[in-house]
Amino acid sequence: MKNSFAIIIAIGLAICGCFIGMGVRSAKMLDRSVSVRGLSEIERKADKAIWPIVFQEMGDNMYTLSSTTEQKSKIIVEFLTKNGIDEQNIQVNSSKIEDTRSMAYGTYPGYRYKFTQVVIVSTSNVDLVLSLMNRQNELLNQGIAVQQNWEFPTKFEFTDLDGVKPQMIEEATKNARITAEKFAQDSQSKLGKIKRASQGQVSITDRDEHTPQIKIIRVVTSVEYMLED
């Protein structure tokens, strides 16, 4: 009886050892993987322009300055609408008024008040905005000195990301697989199924500082593949 019990225990231990060995081998196989990244990059033209037209008026009489600012704002709006900008795409902001006597860092010689006026164009007609930006001297001829102001930079945006992202993710994933297959080949393995994947980062940047209306769109995917013998 004792011998039979010992035989049963021995068989049980052998079976357990077999399963443990299979588990260790499976765990090792699960540990064999490669993580790669795939890149997709395209160039697209911006489909939205935000163009702030900024000018300033200085003087001692607030009422005169207010009237002058209002009249010049109307001239700008007329210039824009006459040249194809829809009036609903034009926003005339309230004037920013500064009293130079209250400024701790100094005053403007001979003038007490400074009015800063901003007329903002927001439109999908990027080409028209670029054309009118090159014609700002026409406003100067009417007594309006348009300024470059760091507080109100001109912006060009690409808004149709959803329209290009699926195709870019597909391309980035294919590029990631090509890299993974090369790694598997070099390591004398076979590329298995995807263990995990993430879309990664999507970025939109200007092509260069001289053409901010041209955008570079990048999509990076991160994929981890199983490796098999």
Least confident of 58-72, 73-87, 133-147, 186-200: 186-200
Note the pLDDT tens digit of each residue in 4-19: 544 444 444 444 444 4
Classify the C-alpha dihedral 167-168-174-177 as positive or negative.
Answer: negative
Note the pLDDT tens digit of each residue in 19-28: 434 433 443 4
DSSP helix/strand/coil, 119: strand
Note the pLDDT tens digit of each residue in 37-67: 999 999 999 999 999 999 999 999 989 999 9
Q: Give the single-character DSSP code of 150.
A: T
Does residue 68 have a pLDDT over 80? yes
8 A C-beta contact, residue 153 and residue 105:
no
Q: What is the reported pLDDT for 18?
A: 44
Q: What is the reported pLDDT for 222?
A: 92
Does residue 140 have a pLDDT over 90? yes
Q: What is the reported pLDDT for 34?
A: 87
Least confident of 170-179, 186-195, 205-214, 215-224: 186-195
Domains within the chain, CATH numbers bracketed:
32-45+160-228 (3.30.110.170), 49-157 (3.30.70.2970)
Mean pLDDT of 24-37: 63
User: With b meaning 16 or more CB within 10 Å and e meaning fewer, what string describes 96-125?
Assistant: eebebeeeeeeeeeeebbbbbbbbebbbeb
Higher pLDDT, 110 or 144: 144
Closest CA to 198 of 41, 35, 31, 43: 35
Q: What is the reported pLDDT for 200?
A: 74
DSSP helix/strand/coil, 116: strand
Q: What is the reported pLDDT for 178?
A: 93
pTM of the model: 0.76
Does residue 111 have a pLDDT over 90? no
Q: What is the reported pLDDT for 103?
A: 66
